[in-house]
């Protein structure tokens, strides 16, 4: 028996509206150009359209899934926003590794099942990945560790 999962539908509608909003704003305020001569609005419009398509896929998927009774945890988005804030506040004064550590430790508070050891292992893996990508591969001038004392 298939039903409609209204939470999935609402999430898909939100993602679709967000994508349409970003794409239309970029199309109105920036020149899109052509494929051979891309303008500054080409990538934002394309990403907005892609986001809207993903939202439609989520909406269509909500018609064939069984509704799930689950709790709505408003705490989770606040924790994720807090992790972004923790990264932003620590990247410049402390460096990349402490910022990734702070971001990871704050964001994992949203997941109840992850142990303390798992949180630190995840932080170590993400810190090593950030070092490899941003400092080694891309050679960005970011301090790895910048202790202010």
- What DSSP string describes 70-106? ----THHHHHHHHHHHHHHHHHHHH-HHHHHHHHHHH
The pLDDT tens digits for 82-103 are 999 999 999 998 999 999 999 9
Could you give the CA distance from residue 82 to residue 108 in angstroms, rounded to a whole number?
11
Decide: pTM greater than 0.85: no
59 by Cβ neighbours in 10 Å (0-12 / 13-18 / 19+) ranks as middle
Tell me the per-residue pLDDT of 25-56, one tens digit each, with 9 for 90 and over. Answer: 999 999 988 888 889 999 999 999 999 999 99
Check if the beta carbon of residue 29 is closer than 8 Å to that of residue 91.
no
Question: 125 in helix, strand or coil?
Answer: helix
User: What's the CA gap between 65 and 146, in Å, rounded?
Assistant: 49
pLDDT tens per residue, range 128-139: 999 999 889 888
Other CB atoms within a 10 A radius of the CB of residue 117 amount to: 8
Q: Evaluate if residue 76 carries a pLDDT over 70.
A: yes
């Amino acid at each position: 028996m298939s039903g409609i999962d209204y939470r999935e539908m609402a999430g898909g509608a939100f993602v679709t509206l967000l994508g349409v909003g970003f794409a239309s704003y970029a199309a109105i305020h920036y020149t899109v150009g052509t494929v051979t001569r891309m303008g500054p609005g080409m990538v934002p419009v394309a990403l907005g359209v892609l986001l809207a398509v993903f939202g439609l896929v989520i909406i269509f998927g909500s018609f064939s899934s069984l509704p799930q009774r689950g709790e709505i945890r408003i705490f989770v988005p606040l924790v994720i926003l807090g992790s972004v804030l923790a990264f932003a506040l620590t990247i410049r004064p402390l460096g990349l590794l402490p910022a990734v550590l702070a971001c990871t430790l704050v964001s994992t508070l949203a997941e109840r099942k992850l142990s303390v050891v798992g949180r630190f292992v995840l932080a170590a893996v993400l810190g090593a990945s950030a070092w490899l990508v941003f400092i080694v591969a891309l050679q960005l001038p970011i301090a790895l560790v910048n202790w202010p004392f």
